[in-house]
């Protein structure tokens, strides 16, 4: 069967499973819609958390970024992996014990202020919409190539699917759908990685194959060959870094601490029965996440080597079918500048004739390596599973922020459970449409968009959460002012250096030499400074709030989450 038919079959089967699960586990109450009734097992929650965490950025774009950035791309691996550890060990158990299943709910109650809650809702919506734009873009990329529709149509199809099971099932439906999606995405990521590792190095373990010698008997190490190929084309050595140390540090830290403010991951720790189960599911999720994250560098090296050997200085007329297929999507473009009919793929932008979108590398890798058609189609199904699993979690956060944190908690506290559920579903539907717009008009490739979302979370939520848990003297005035300053700093920097507003700005003009993806660290520091300064000049929180803060940090007699 052709790749397209295999793709239709595998995507149809996986979508049928997701929709079937959503119908089977549809939410009948707000507790089921928001936290799956609080009865999910640690294993199921660990799988769902891993799927929620590993978005299109992890599956599609991260290995693509590392393919083109080489050593510099390691910031994404370090930041996202370290961030999950930080969240699981330092924050999740305390938030679980506090008993609030949304970040705005925690901030509103901890800082005894509806203003604090409103600011947190705004930040949660901003972070979630920025993040979900990357997921919808990932869906569009997959559909545009494998189902041969344009990216915009692909985004619309993805919107319809995710709307169905997110709106119908809520967190209950999303949780069990994400368990299935993790199985699909990890299988889809590992199978081609193992195939290509055996093909290139004879080693069936991709993580070891990346550092092994080539299977051609030359005794040359794969990375040495890749370094040589890169240097021949004028690129930096693959294993050498070109980023400044301050930018590497800033991006890594921004991604790490931004994790702590990602509402769609935090809420997962409220779907299990107790604090002990939350810790277990966090550990299991780290194991499941580690499988993909340790394989991604190997996939990057394999893809980059195969790409250079396939296209560099080769006649355009002799390019294999995968090349023309990706050209049709507009994500791969060849311009014959010297009219010699050969592809000049070079670091020199003036002479370079090939433009490659980072986001195609993982998806095109099995085609470049000439793997069986079913493997190529499997990767498409995995990419969709990764994008849709995270998109669903983010849409739930958006709907919860509107229905629970704004309407129920502030505007109409006397609405019925049934009315609140309908408002949540309506909010999710509106959010899907907005997310689809950003997916059609994204501000960059998937991982870059997602990195900005982490920066926004680092700038706004992380200081408020950390100080809220570990500093009982922290008051509402300090928290609110810190969040406002942090989010405004990050937004200004994004708009100036990512979108060319406020006078534009080139990389040479970056403040402190820090890229927009890493500026969340600076905005976070500004948040801390403003919050602590304002806090020192304003009254302390009420005694009852300080007592709550003391109680959530006591490990013994760990209480369960209270109902919302």
To the nearest 10°, report the CA torsion of 385, 388, 392, 393: 60
Q: How many CB atoms lie within 10 A of CB 217?
A: 8
Q: Rounded CA gap, 361 and 365, in Å?
A: 6
| Residues 80-90: tens digit of each pLDDT | 788 877 877 77
Residue 330's nearest CA partner among 501, 152, 484, 123 is 152
State the fold for domain 3-328+356-462.
Answer: Sodium/glucose cotransporter (1.20.1730)
Look at the chain and count its residues: 564
| Residues 117-161: tens digit of each pLDDT | 888 888 888 877 777 777 777 777 777 777 677 777 777 877 777
Residue 502, pLDDT above cutoff 70: no
What is the reported pLDDT for 527?
94
Confidence category of residue 558, pLDDT binned at 50, 70, 90: very low
What is the reported pLDDT for 556?
43
Q: CA distances (Å), 529 to each of 112, 341, 517, 547, in order?
A: 21, 59, 21, 25
Q: Rounded CA gap, 7 and 263, in Å?
A: 33
Residue 249's nearest CA partner among 526, 507, 519 is 519
Q: What is the pTM of this model?
A: 0.79
Confidence category of residue 172, pLDDT binned at 50, 70, 90: low
What is the reported pLDDT for 554?
66
| Residues 182-205: tens digit of each pLDDT | 888 888 889 999 999 999 999 999
Which pair of tokens denotes residue 104? 């705005």
What is the reported pLDDT for 557?
43
Confidence category of residue 560, pLDDT binned at 50, 70, 90: very low
Confidence category of residue 562, pLDDT binned at 50, 70, 90: very low
Percent of the chain with pLDDT over 70: 87
* DSSP code per residue over 258-315: HHTT-HHHHGGGGSSSSHHHHHHHHHHHHHHHHHHHHHHHHHHHHHHHHHHHHHTT-B
Q: Where are the domains of the chain?
A: 3-328+356-462
What is the reported pLDDT for 432?
79
Q: Rounded CA gap, 111 and 109, in Å?
A: 5
Q: Rounded CA gap, 76 and 313, in Å?
A: 31
Q: Rounded CA gap, 457 and 87, in Å?
A: 13
Q: How many helices (H) and strands (E) does the chain have?
A: 23, 2
Residue 564, pLDDT above cutoff 50: no
Q: Are 362 and 31 in contact (CB under 8 A)?
A: no
């Amino acid at each position: 069967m052709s790749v397209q038919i295999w793709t239709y079959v595998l995507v149809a089967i996986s979508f049928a499973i997701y929709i079937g699960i959503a119908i089977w586990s549809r939410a009948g109450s707000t507790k089921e819609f928001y936290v799956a009734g609080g009865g999910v097992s640690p294993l199921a929650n660990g799988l769902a958390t891993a799927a929620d965490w590993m978005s299109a950025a992890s599956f599609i774009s991260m290995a693509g970024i590392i393919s083109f950035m080489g050593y510099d791309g390691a910031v994404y691996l370090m930041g996202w992996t370290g961030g999950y550890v930080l969240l699981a060990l330092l924050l999740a158990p305390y938030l679980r014990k506090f008993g609030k299943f949304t970040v705005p709910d925690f901030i509103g109650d901890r800082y005894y202020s509806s203003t604090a809650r409103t600011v947190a809702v705004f930040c949660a919506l901003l972070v979630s919409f920025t993040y979900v734009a990357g997921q919808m873009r990932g869906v569009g990329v997959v559909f545009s190539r494998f189902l041969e529709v344009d990216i915009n149509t692909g985004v619309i199809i993805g919107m319809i699917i995710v709307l169905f099971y997110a709106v119908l099932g809520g967190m209950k439906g999303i949780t069990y759908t994400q368990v299935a999606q993790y199985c699909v995405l990890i299988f889809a990521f590992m199978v081609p990685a193992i195939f290509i590792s055996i093909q290139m190095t004879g080693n069936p373990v991709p993580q070891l194959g990346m550092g092994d010698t080539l299977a051609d008997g030359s005794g040359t190490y794969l990375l040495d060959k890749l370094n040589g190929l890169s240097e021949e084309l004028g690129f930096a050595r693959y294993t050498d870094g070109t980023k400044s140390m301050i930018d590497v540090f800033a991006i890594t830290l921004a991604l790490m601490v931004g994790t702590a403010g990602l509402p769609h991951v935090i809420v997962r720790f409220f779907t299990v029965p107790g604090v002990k189960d939350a810790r277990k599911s966090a550990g299991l999720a780290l194991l499941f996440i580690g499988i993909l994250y340790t394989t991604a560098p190997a996939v990057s090296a394999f893809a980059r080597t195969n790409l250079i050997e396939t296209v560099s200085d080769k006649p355009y007329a002799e390019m294999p079918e995968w090349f023309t297929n990706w050209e049709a999507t507009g994500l791969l473009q060849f311009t014959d500048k010297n009219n010699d009919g050969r592809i000049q793929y070079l670091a020199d932008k003036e002479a370079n004739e090939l433009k490659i979108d980072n986001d195609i590398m993982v998806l095109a890798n099995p085609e470049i390596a000439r793997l069986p058609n079913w493997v190529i189609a499997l990767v498409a199904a995995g990419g969709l599973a990764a994008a849709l699993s995270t998109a669903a979690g983010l849409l739930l956060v958006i709907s919860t922020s509107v229905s629970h944190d704004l309407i129920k908690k502030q505007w109409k506290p006397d609405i019925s459970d049934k009315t609140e559920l309908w408002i949540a579903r309506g909010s999710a539907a509106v959010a899907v449409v907005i997310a689809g717009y950003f997916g059609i008009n994204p501000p960059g490739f998937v991982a870059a968009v997602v990195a900005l979302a982490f920066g926004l979370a680092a700038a706004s939520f992380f200081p408020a959460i950390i100080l809220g848990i570990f500093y009982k003297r922290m008051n509402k005035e300090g928290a609110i002012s810190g969040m406002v300053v942090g989010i405004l700093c990050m937004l200004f920097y994004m708009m100036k250096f990512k979108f060319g507003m406020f006078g534009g700005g080139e990389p040479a003009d970056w403040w402190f030499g820090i890229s927009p993806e890493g500026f969340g660290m600076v905005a976070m520091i500004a948040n801390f400074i403003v919050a602590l300064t304002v806090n020192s000049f304003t009254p302390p929180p009420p005694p009852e709030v300080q007592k709550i803060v003391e109680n959530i940090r006591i490990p013994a007699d760990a209480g369960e989450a209270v109902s919302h």
